Structure 1
Amino acid sequence: MKHDTKNILQLFISLQTFGLLFQLSAAIPIGICYGRVANNLPPPSDAVNLIKTNGISSVRLFNPNPESLKPFSGTGIQLTIGVPNEELPSIATSNATAAQEWLQSNIFAHVPADQIRYIVVGNEVFLKDPFYTPHVIPAISNIYEALKSIGLSEKIKISSAQAASILSNSYPPSSSYFDPNILTDLNRLLQFLRDTSSPLMVNVYPYFSYINNREFVSLDSALFRSGNSLHDQDLVYDNLFDQTVDAFIYAMEREGYGEIPVVVTETGWPTEGGEAASGENALCYNGNVVKRGLDNVGTPKRPGIGVEVFLFDLFDEDEKNGNEFEKHFGIFGVNGVKAYDLNFQ
């Protein structure tokens, strides 16, 4: 009997190990952001066909617009759907029942629940849009309770996308820490993410780091082609993407939440409108992001654990505010032709 129990235990451990290795070896899905701040976009049905034709299996939408959502229904494409910042106060000050009604009318009435991967409650609120900061956690709580009441809280994960600016220091990665002014709210978010096995969502743009700090950041490092390496403790970095992702991990460790996974909800490179903005550089950057995701390269801090990424953007967005390059992150033209020869598989 003891011998049988031992064999069963060994088999159980072997199966667990196999399952873990299988998970780690499976390619991370490469997603794309479907921004719609433009006046010349093709119909959403055409956009969905373009997404399917290129083998893209994961899409981030910044708001639950019915016109955009409906064509995804039944396609099997996994969706990450944003709750716009301006919606946060009403959801935060209501209750789980009202949040469930919001989910039903804005999301589940248009696409089935089994296609929803994440709900992103607010985008770049902390520091950048502080009016909405007090509403983020209450809104998340109400949406979570709403999902829990209908048995979807394990299937659909909730988070809030953050800008890299929430890091007061990110260099070197091991010295990173969050801005002290947001720690109270951020720690509440991190506690929720740990309790619900959800990821920290971050928007990572080495392009911005390069153009704003050319004295210290090389173009080669931003484009994954650096011949120079940063030695940080016992880890070695040869690109800015890894440094930024690991900076978030180290900063979470500093707060006691080092086990939380990281999902990059936006990253990309513009094709025109600014210094070093070109199709060639965009292909170099995004091509490396895709390859590293598919190969489960991970980062020096978490090697072999691929980083889930959403590339920005499906199309150029000609009505975006800000610098001219902000309008030119599109991987496809509005006619469906690739701006550069990027493969997603």
Structure 2
Amino acid sequence: MNFAIAVPIGICYGRVANNLPPPTTAVNIITTNGISSIRLFNPNPESLQPFSGTRIQLAIGVPNEDLPSIAAGTTTTAHNWLQSNIFAHVSPDQIRYLIVGNEVFLKEPYYTSHVIPAIFNIYQALHILNLTDKIKISSAQAASILSNSYPPSHAIFDPNILPDLTRLLRFLHDTSSPLMVNVYTYFSYINNQEYVTLDYALLKSGSEMIDQNLVYENLFDMTIDAFIYAMEREGYGGIRVVVTETGWPTAGGEAANGENALVYNGNVVKRSLNNVGTPKRPGIGVEVFLFDLFDENEKMGNEFEKHFGIFGINGVKAYDLVLY
């Protein structure tokens, strides 16, 4: 298999906060720090327009709430949505991915039936514009779509979503697009401390687990390979995996601090830049989007959800992470 080779380090630019700097300032922070790839969760014109004309490649979300109308419409509907929401603000040349829905399967069941029809309509619209080779389409999924992930070789997808997921996998295979997953070893650590050590979650060398003669030294590799094994089980072993969110909080929970965030994100970055890959796919770098550009003080849920920011709102790094 020949996968794309130089994997960029991306960062998610979440905006669920009331104290963020203006998007023009954020883009300046991004460019000043040499960040070449950004994930936007929705194509808000205010946050999208400042990227226009920069060299930053974008992964842009199609929000869950927009899926029903795009799915129920025609190719023209999808074309109009793309034109008014995205292409009116930024050139197609800057768009790397369209992420149609975020964590819909299992978590947002109302939207599940709309994901694939929306993807098909958007794909046809891009096809008419001769953009399907440049812009790849997928849908970001939570790691919970695996009903079993340990050991990786035994991984299976949740049977409740298999009909829709299989259609997604078929599309990804046919269009050479990646499976997109959100992977947080921090969540696995705090919820399963009986089985997961802090070092294993932080990608620090230490304990090893052997599965199918492959040696696993960290939880990140195990999780990625679990998805690969699960796809193989459904007959789609050739699809690459892109991690659309991963990170470690700096406050608000056990082991949530800047030191651990630096260790985790630093190890993820080094592995991607060096094309380390995983035990099942050695030498094939895993493209990642680190979460998050800034803390988001209006995020719902646990306190630590608000504290993933790599940069302070003043543009100063929260910890000394090297991104390239």
Aligned match of 1:117: 96
1:187 aligns to 2:173 (yes or no):
no
| 2:302 alignment partner, one of 323, 331, 334 | 323
Q: What's the counterpart of residue 47 of structure 1? A: 26
The one of 178, 181, 190 equivalent to 1:199 is: 178
Aligned to 1:303: 282
Matched, 1:233 2:212: yes
For residues 325 and 226 of structure 1, the distance between their equivalents in structure 2, rounded to whole angstroms, comes to 25
- Matched residue type, 1:128: K
What's the offset of the Cα at 1:76? 1.2
Give the structure 1 partner of residue 318 of structure 2.
Answer: 339
Question: How large is the Cα RMSD of the aligned pairs?
Answer: 1.1
With normalisation by structure 1, the TM-score equals: 0.93
Deviations along 1:31-60, one digit per CA (max 9) or x if unpaired, are 000000000000000000000011100000
1:151-300 equivalences in 2 (<5 Å): 151-300=130-279
Supply the distance in 1 between the matched residues of 2:133 and 2:321 (Cα, whole angstroms): 34
Q: Distance in 2 between matches of 1:139 and 1:182?
A: 17
CA distance in 1, matches of 2:212, 2:84: 51
**1 or 2, which has the higher helix percentage?**
1
Question: Partner letter of residue 297 of structure 1?
Answer: V
Q: What TM-score results when the alignment is normalised by the length of structure 2?
A: 0.99
Aligned residue in 2 for 1:92: 71
Is 1:107 aligned to 2:100, yes or no?
no
**Larger Cα Rg: Structure 1 or Structure 2?**
1
Residue 234 of structure 1 deviates from its aligned partner by: 1.1
State the partner residue of 1:314.
293
For residue 310 of structure 2, give the secondary structure of its aligned residue in structure 1: coil
State the secondary structure of the residue aligned to 1:314: coil
In the aligned structure 1, how far is the partner of 2:204 from the partner of 2:242? Answer: 23
Matches of 1:147 and 1:303, distance apart in 2: 33
Structure 2: runs of 5 or more not aligned: none
- Name whichever of 217-226 and 169-178 sits farther off: 217-226
Divergent runs of 4+, >3 A: none
Between the aligned partners of 1:209 and 1:321, the Cα distance in structure 2 is: 19
* Secondary structure of 1:168 counterpart: strand
Residue type matched to 1:244 in 2?
Answer: T
In structure 2, what residue type is equivalent to 1:94?
A: G
Q: Secondary structure at the match of 2:317?
A: coil
Deviation at 1:167, TM superposition (A): 0.2
Summarize deviations over 1:188-233 as a string: whole Å, max 9, x none: 0000000000000000000000001111111010011141100001
Q: How many residues align?
A: 324
**1:241-290 C-alpha deviation (Å, 9 max, x unpaired):** 00000000000000000000000000000000000000000000000000
**1:3-152 to 2 correspondences below 5 Å:** 24=5, 26=6, 28-152=7-131
Q: How far has the Cα of 1:337 moved from its partner?
A: 0.7
**Following the alignment from structure 1 to structure 2, what is the Cα–Cα distance between the partners of residues 225 and 201?**
24
Secondary structure of the 1:90 match is helix
Q: Amino acid of the residue matched to residue 277 of structure 1?
A: A
State the identity %.
78
Q: Distance in 2 between matches of 1:182 and 1:225?
A: 34
